[in-house]
Amino acid sequence: MIVLLKLIQGIGAGALSISIGLLFVGIGRKITARIHRRYGPPFVQNFIDLFKLLSKKSISHGFTFDLGLIAGFSALLAAVVFLPMGQINIFPHNSSLIMILYLMTMAYLGMAMGVSSSGNPNATVGIARALTLTMGYEVPFAAVIFSVYLFAHTGSLTNIVAAQSGGFMNWNLVKLPFGFVAAEIALQGMLGEAPFDMAIAPAEIASGPMVEMGGKYLGFGMLQHSIGLFLETGIMVDLFLGGGSNVWIFVIKQFELYFLALLVNAIFPRFKIEDGVSFMWKVPLLLGIVQALIVVL
Amino acid sequence: MELRPLNVSSKSKYKTYELFIGPNHPGIEGNFSYVLDMDGHKVAQVTPDPGLLHRGFEKLMERRLWTQNLALIPRICVPEPDINEVAYCMGVEHLAGIEVPKRAQYIRVIVLELARMGAFLFGFGGLGGATGLYTAPNWAFGDRDYILDLFEWLTGGRVYHIYQYPGGVKNDIPEGWLDKLSELLDYFESRLPEYDKLIFKNPIIQRRTKGVGYLSAEDAIENGITGPNLRASGVKWDIRKAQPYLVYDELDFDIPITGDGDAFARALQRRYEMAESIKILRQCIKQIPDGPHRVKIPNPFQFRVPAGAYYSKVESSKGEFGYYLVSNGDVKPYRVYVRGPSYSVSLFYAQKAMVGMRIEDVPVWIHTMDICPPDFDR
């Protein structure tokens, strides 16, 4: 009975992450459009696009292509289930941050396996850049997580959120400010927003990984992007903004982070890949190490 | 440079791979492609693949009356169609010995400079598109629409104007149009600092474009590169000053020189020249005389241009844009040749310049060099 209940809750969490992620992207497109001085598409456009794409006939590039995309999608879906979202916390005793990060990396590797098997050099170059950038932002993010661990003496997101309860002054944002800035820069890389959008550079490699995706596959790509967006901003909210007393507060805090990412995205072009990685290994990593030292000393 | 069949890699099959920049690719303007043989992330060999945009304009012109061609030629170049009309009309007028009224010449300068500004805005946008700064193209294309609004009021058309005519321009300037133009220039002057902040002072843009695609003055001259790209390499050459046409000798303007020869200098050159265009337009608004906007030519169906040949050229946003007209005294041209400014750089210099470049520098090079497929494929 408990298994069934957890299953239903898990499906609910997945559906929530997909709809919130799509909504974020829709509102984000509107905000970006206003910065660009244009009107922008309606904010439900992403839902319309998704339904259209999922109802289309699609061309597969073989078993590995399908498997890679599904593996990436399901890894992200599995990661969302372990994320505490306000009062929704499906596995309160198992919300290990390490496991969530592991599943997120699985998603990237699944995607890499899928798109590389399509045989298009644009996709291969794109995914090579994405994995290189992963190496770039995971190092400072690991440093940040290290300092959060040292500070909270726990690796469970549930406990980290609980430790921050009781108002703004208890948030890790206030207590670990350098760590927050470092994680925020790493988040920009995770979300793939400028200046770290070199993996999907349209003018260089024709949108990279999704170049061979069409129809249902592109729909799955959109789903993966929206879950990823929800998950990455969700981890940040749990780590630094004290989670949320209920799910709506949690979502509003997530949106604030996404909004900040959009503003940065609007005014920067993209780095070259080596500049992006070296920036990640300099500025946020240094901030992360400084934060860890402050916590230790 | 030897040509080789497409889709056959020159070296080992596994050493290099092919990457297509075009014909349907966000990194290139128009239906044209560069086939890049990539060695890792560096370009090993470049093969331009033109021919997809060919519409046979020069042959079509031989079958149409001298005045009928005016509806055809703007379609050669989308970003800046007016240079076609003015260069063609200037050639016809020279051959037919038609004296153009002063007012018409001023109107032509206004149209040319507005079109230049529109093309420069395309240039800013192109750089933004190539480097991923999407606010820049959206702002630039939005601002360009205000220019198109003015063109629509003046000529009835937004992109293709078909406004020039041998002997002058088709209609006089409507009442209130010059005031509106003056307002628009004020607006652009207020916008230029914003573009500076967004694009030219942006540290990542500088990092991405400085030192990329260096073009020396010798290479530029050897390859027939003209216009802003030549001036960005430090050569002070502008047809408007060197061999003035229309009323450019009555106007006071400078030729800015950036001189570094890299992609950033080429982008910045266009920014400076846009400010000069604003200056020229302000003078035109002040100095434009009253009088007829056109001299009548005889019945267009019987309009015979005396036999002869003439090369008329204008300074476009990309460089020297010319029409070589040959007439045998008939109602139709005997032969017309169009000189596009990016012809030599797109097809020949590209094969040399892009070798050794990285993938992410290729679109930057393409956009700052203003590779325009209609220049060599029409």
> Domain ranges in chain B?
1-54+345-355, 68-302
Whether the predicted pLDDT of A50 surpasses 80: yes
Whether the predicted pLDDT of B146 surpasses 90: yes
Q: Which residues of B touch A (CB under 8 A)?
A: 17-19, 25-27, 38, 41, 128-135, 138-139, 142, 198, 202, 204-205, 207-208, 358-360, 362-363
CB contact under 8 A, A204 and B129: no
- Per-residue confidence (pLDDT) for residue B10, from 0 to 100: 53
In the DSSP assignment, the letter for residue B325 is E
Summarize the confidence of residues B243-251 as an average pLDDT: 88
Whether the predicted pLDDT of B3 surpasses 70: no
A188 contacts in chain B (CB < 8 Å):
none
- Per-residue confidence (pLDDT) for residue B11, from 0 to 100: 53
Burial class (CB in 10 A: 0-12, 13-18, 19+), B295: middle
A204 contacts in chain B (CB < 8 Å):
27, 359-360, 362-363
Whether the predicted pLDDT of B4 surpasses 60: no
Find the helix or strand (DSSP H, E) in which A52 lies.
helix A45-54
Pick from A40-44, A191-195, B134-138, B204-208: least confident: A191-195
- Per-residue confidence (pLDDT) for residue B12, from 0 to 100: 56
pLDDT in tens, B54-79: 888 888 989 888 888 888 888 888 88
User: For residue B133, what is the nearest residue in chain A, using CA coordinates?
Assistant: A269
What CA–CA distance (Å, rounded) separates A116 from B147? 45
Whether the predicted pLDDT of A120 surpasses 80: yes
- Per-residue confidence (pLDDT) for residue B76, from 0 to 100: 85
What distance in Å separates residue A38's CA from the closest CA in chain B? 8
What distance in Å separates residue A272's CA from the closest CA in chain B? 7
- Per-residue confidence (pLDDT) for residue A52, from 0 to 100: 92
Whether the predicted pLDDT of B374 surpasses 60: yes
Among B187, B264, B360, B361, which would you mutate to test the A interface (most chain A Cβ atoms within 10 Å of its Cβ)? B360
Q: Check if the beta carbon of residue A55 is closer than 8 Å to that of residue A218.
A: no
- Supply angle C-alpha A269, A274, A275, rounded to 5: 45
Q: Fill in the amino acid letter for B268.
A: L
Confidence tier at B252 by pLDDT (50, 70, 90): confident
pLDDT in tens, B276-301: 999 999 999 988 888 888 888 878 78
A206 contacts in chain B (CB < 8 Å):
25-27
Closest by alpha carbon to A180, among A241, A234, A137? A241
Whether the predicted pLDDT of B255 surpasses 80: yes
- Per-residue confidence (pLDDT) for residue B13, from 0 to 100: 59
CB contact under 8 A, A272 and B360: yes
CB contact under 8 A, B131 and A269: yes
Whether the predicted pLDDT of A33 surpasses 90: yes
What is the span of the domain harbouring residue A53? 2-296
Confidence tier at A57 by pLDDT (50, 70, 90): confident
Pick from A169-173, A247-251, B335-339: least confident: A169-173
As given in the structure block, the two tokens for residue A136 are 């770039």
**What mean pLDDT is reported for chain B?**
87
A273 contacts in chain B (CB < 8 Å):
360
What CA–CA distance (Å, rounded) separates B225 from B219? 8
pLDDT in tens, B89-130: 999 999 888 888 989 999 999 999 999 999 998 888 888 888
Summarize the confidence of residues A170-175 as an average pLDDT: 79
Q: Fill in the amino acid letter for A163.
A: A
pTM score, whole prediction: 0.87
Q: Check if the beta carbon of residue A85 is closer than 8 Å to that of residue A244.
A: yes
**Higher local confidence (pLDDT), B259 or A72:** A72
Summarize the confidence of residues A133-149 as an average pLDDT: 88
- Per-residue confidence (pLDDT) for residue B18, from 0 to 100: 83
Fold designation for B68-302: Cytochrome-c3 Hydrogenase; chain B (1.10.645)
Number of domains in chain A: 1
Helix, strand and coil percent figures for chain B, each rounded to 5: 45, 10, 40
Summarize the confidence of residues A92-105 as an average pLDDT: 81
Query: What percentage of chain A carries pLDDT values higher than 90?
Result: 14
Confidence tier at B138 by pLDDT (50, 70, 90): very high
What distance in Å separates residue A67's CA from the closest CA in chain B? 26
**Higher local confidence (pLDDT), A137 or A97:** A137
Give the 3-state secondary structure of residue B47.
strand
Whether the predicted pLDDT of B35 surpasses 70: yes
Residues with Cβ within 8 Å of B179's Cβ and at least 6 positions away in sequence, in order, are none
Whether the predicted pLDDT of A1 surpasses 60: yes
Pick from A64-73, A164-173, A179-188, B47-56: least confident: A164-173
ipTM greater than 0.90: no
Across the interface, which of A35, A206, A266 has its CB nearest the CB of B26?
A206
